Amino acid sequence: MKTCKKQRRKAPTPELLNELVWEILIRLPVESLLRFKHASKAWHAIISDPWFIQSHLQLSASRWEERPSLLITPHCLDRVIKGENWPTTFSSSIFFYRWQQGASEARLVHGRELDGEFSSVCYFAHCDGLVLVPTDTNSSTRDVVTLPESSRNVLPGRVNLSVGFGRDPRTGMYKVVRSFFRPRDRKTGIFNMGMEVCTLGDGGRRHCWTETAADPPYPVEAWVTAQSVKGAVYWTIDISHLKPRPHSLLRFGLEDEAFRMTNLPDSLATGDGVFFNLNVMRGELCLTDNPVGEPDDHPVMIWILVEDNGPRSVWEPRYKLNLTVPCQPLSILPDGAVLISLFDKLRRYGPQSKELTVVCELDSLRFRRASRSRRPALKNLHFFNVIPYTESLVPLVVRSS
pLDDT in tens, 145-197: 777 788 888 777 656 678 999 999 999 899 999 999 888 877 777 788 999 99
pLDDT at 88: 81
CA distance 293 to 273: 8
Q: Give the tens place of pLDDT for each residue, 98-107.
A: 998 888 899 9
| Shared-domain flag, residues 164 and 128 | yes
Tell whether 317 is covered by a domain. yes
- Checking 248-251 for CB contacts under 8 A at 24+ apart, the result is 248/311, 249/278, 250/216, 250/217, 250/218, 250/220, 251/308
Q: Does 279 lie in the same domain as 201?
A: yes
- Tell me, yes or no, whether 396 lies in a domain: no
Span 122-128, mean pLDDT? 88
**What backbone phi and psi angles, to 5 degrees, belong to 203?**
-65, -20
pLDDT, mean of residues 106-126: 80
Q: Are residues 60 and 42 in the same domain?
A: no
In this prediction, residues 25-34 reach a mean pLDDT of: 91
In single-letter form, the type of residue at position 160 comes to: N
Look at residue 395 in the predicted model and tell me its pLDDT: 83
pLDDT of residue 148: 77
Residue 236 has a pLDDT of 92
Counting the structural domains of the chain, the total is 2
Higher pLDDT, 337 or 146: 337
pLDDT greater than 90 at residue 78: no
**What is the three-state SS of 346-392?**
EEEEECCCCEEEEEEEHHHCEEECCCCCCCCCCCCEEEEEEEECCCC
Q: What is the mean pLDDT of residues 352-359?
A: 87
The pTM score is 0.86
21 and 170 share one domain: no
Range of the domain at 379: 54-388
Closest CA to 249 of 280, 218, 222: 218
- The answer to whether residues 75 and 41 belong to one domain is no
> Is 401 inside any structural domain?
no
Give the pLDDT of residue 271: 62
Q: CATH number for the domain including 180?
A: 2.120.10
- CA atoms of 369 and 192, how far apart (whole Å): 45
- Do 23 and 116 belong to one domain? no
Same domain? For 72 and 190 the reply is yes
Are residue 29 and residue 156 in the same domain, yes or no? no
43 and 62 inside one domain:
no
User: Quick check: 400 pLDDT over 60?
Assistant: no
What is the DSSP track for 184-252?
EPTTT--EEEEEEEEEE-BTTS---EEE-SS--SSPBPTT---EEETTEEEE-B--TT-SSPP-EEEEE
Residue 393 counted as domain residue: no
The torsion of the CA quartet 282, 287, 291, 296, rounded to 10 degrees, works out to -50
Q: Are residues 19 and 65 in the same domain?
A: no
- pLDDT of 192-229, one tens digit each? 899 999 998 655 567 889 999 999 999 998 888 999 99
Q: Give the pLDDT band (50/70/90) at residue 10.
A: low
2 in a structural domain:
no
Specify whether 31 is located in the same domain as 156: no
Distance CA 385, CA 376 (A): 17
Res 143: pLDDT: 66
Q: What's the mean pLDDT when you consider all of the chain?
A: 83
Per-residue pLDDT tens digits for 275-330: 789 999 989 999 998 766 554 556 788 999 999 999 999 999 988 887 777 788 99
Same-domain check for residues 155 and 246: yes
Q: Which of 6-15, 34-43, 246-255 has the highest mean pLDDT?
A: 246-255
Contact predicate 198/141, CB 8 Å: no
How far, in Å, CA of 171 to CA of 231, rounded? Answer: 11
